[in-house]
Amino acid sequence: MLKLLLKKQALETLAFFTTGGRYGSNGKKRSPLFIVAIALLLLYGVGATVALMGYLSWTLCEAFVQSGLTGVYFAMNATMACALALIGSMFSAKSKLFEAKDNDLLLSMPFPTWTILFSRMAGLYGMAFLFSSIAFIPACVVYFIQTGFALLPAIFCILNSFVLPLLALSISALIGWALAMIGNRVRSKNLVTTILLLAFFTGYTLLYSKMGEAIEFILTHGNEIGAAMQTWLFPFYLAGLACSGNAFALLGTIGVFGGVFALVYWLLSRAFLKTVTTRRGGAGKKYKEKKIKRSPAIFALVKKELFRMKNPMILFNTAIGSMLFIILIIFALFNAELVNMINASGVDKGEIAVIVAVVLSFIASSNMITASSVSLEGENLWILKSAPVKTEEIFAAKLLLQIALTCIPATIAIVVVCALLQIPPLLSLLVWLCVSVTACLCAVLGLIVNLKLPNLTWTSEIAAVKQSLSVVVSMFTSWGIAALLIAGHFTIGTLMGAPLYLTFAFALYASACGFMLVWLGTHGVKIFERL
């Protein structure tokens, strides 16, 4: 039975690439050329991340090896790999393990609960392994390039790459279980989850902003870091010793990481059935009779789209740009030294305005609400299609939500940043126009891509958001739209001057947005009605 569930999990993941739906669905198969194109796109994303991690490892490796701290070098990279795996898997653990749409179906079949949980955790392990490998394998390759190849350490590094994700998997599964238990017992479960995730995301962003200072500190305090890791992060220190060729350390690493996973799996297997079948939902609300005011259909549709944002996982995966705007505002207000340095640098205000427009456009393009808005309708799409509203109104509601959640914080960020950097009002207005039209263009693009690449047969809402080709395609294309601003500035913008270039960019993006809206109102309507 376990083999059958593992096969289902693997085929379901494969169906994401081959049919865009759940294993066993009646979705049309994708063409081989399309599959190759998506594979190349994903390889590009992974390759760029691997290159970044390889650069960081190259910076650290020589200094640590020459100081006789090879084990500390590997321990630090093992810690980083585990942290990256945790970040990559923790936001999916709750929905994949405890909120999958087919949990009730599987529980009604003669499958032992431990096999269902194991198959779910196997899929989560694959995700954790991918993220940890992106950080750990480049570090190993860099080490062997700089020091020469050695068979035994290479074998131990490979074994460690399979062991390290177990700890990240265990922690993310515990976090997912805790969030599921909180959701079963409190009224404002989504609010609690949102606060916890926001606190984690804010801490991670602040830590990432200090990356340069952290690398400098690491290079100058290697011995102290090694001693601290040996005391406070001994499992990772043990993994580092194993990668340097210590067989006893390897056995210890397997024992510690495997033991933690076994303990967590045992705990969750005992609580899995109760967690999945409990539907308390917190204390009930007291009924109050009140009259319902009549409002236009578009308001009801926007409210319906906004209601999805109550799910913290959807909020954090589709509206990350809005949160980045808030973090940028706080960063700008509390970094007077950096602001004063920029103002005293003598750089032309037009150049600064273009840079601000590019940065804020990149942040605006990070919102992917429309890129999964059709997919999130799922098997209930027929209810929306049967409602007495026009398809154009459905599209307008999906677009308005992303535009509003992007442009409102973007406007506040532009006012704050332009005021602090003393950018003239005309240039500030042009910056706002460019960022706003970029946000609109990305919203329309995301909806069009999702219409062409919908996934209506997901087993978990998070799959429609995180494991969606429409989101991947929209993300890279939207970043390309933002990158075009800086590319155009270095080619024709320097000759035109900042005011004229920003005006030209706004006109170009507005024309593209208008063209895509016309397509959406004609061909897009037909595609939606055929879904």
List the structure tokens of 426: 């005309």
Give DSSP secondary structure letters for 260-311: HHHHHHHHHHHHHHHHHH----SSPPPP---PPPP--HHHHHHHHHHHHTTS
Residue, of 517 and 185, whose pLDDT is higher: 517
Supply the pLDDT for residue 24.
Answer: 41
49-77 pLDDT tens trace: 788 788 888 878 888 888 788 888 888 88
Q: What's the DSSP call for residue 389?
A: S
Supply the pLDDT for residue 441.
Answer: 94
Winning range, highest mean pLDDT, from 8-12, 109-113, 295-299, 413-417: 413-417
Q: What sign for the dihedral angle of Cα 474, 524, 312, 466?
A: negative
Q: Rounded to an integer, what distance in angstroms lies between the CA atom of residue 71 and that of residue 245? A: 9
Q: Rounded to an integer, what distance in angstroms lies between the CA atom of residue 434 and that of residue 498? A: 12
Q: Rounded to an integer, what distance in angstroms lies between the CA atom of residue 162 and that of residue 125? A: 10
Winning range, highest mean pLDDT, from 171-185, 214-228, 490-504, 516-530: 516-530
Q: Rounded to an integer, what distance in angstroms lies between the CA atom of residue 69 and that of residue 76? A: 11
| Average pLDDT of the residues in 35-40 | 71
Supply the pLDDT for residue 411.
Answer: 95
| Average pLDDT of the residues in 225-230 | 70
* pLDDT of 355 higher than 50: yes
| Average pLDDT of the residues in 69-86 | 85
Supply the pLDDT for residue 519.
Answer: 93
* pLDDT of 199 higher than 70: no
Write down the pTM of the prediction.
0.66
Q: What residue type is 287 in one-letter code?
A: Y
Q: Rounded to an integer, what distance in angstroms lies between the CA atom of residue 94 and that of residue 276? A: 11
List the structure tokens of 225: 């870091």
Percent of the chain with pLDDT over 90: 26
Least confident of 8-17, 201-210, 357-366: 201-210
Collapsing DSSP to helix, strand or coil, 362 comes out as helix
- Say if CB 179 and CB 94 are below 8 A apart: yes
Supply the pLDDT for residue 19.
Answer: 58
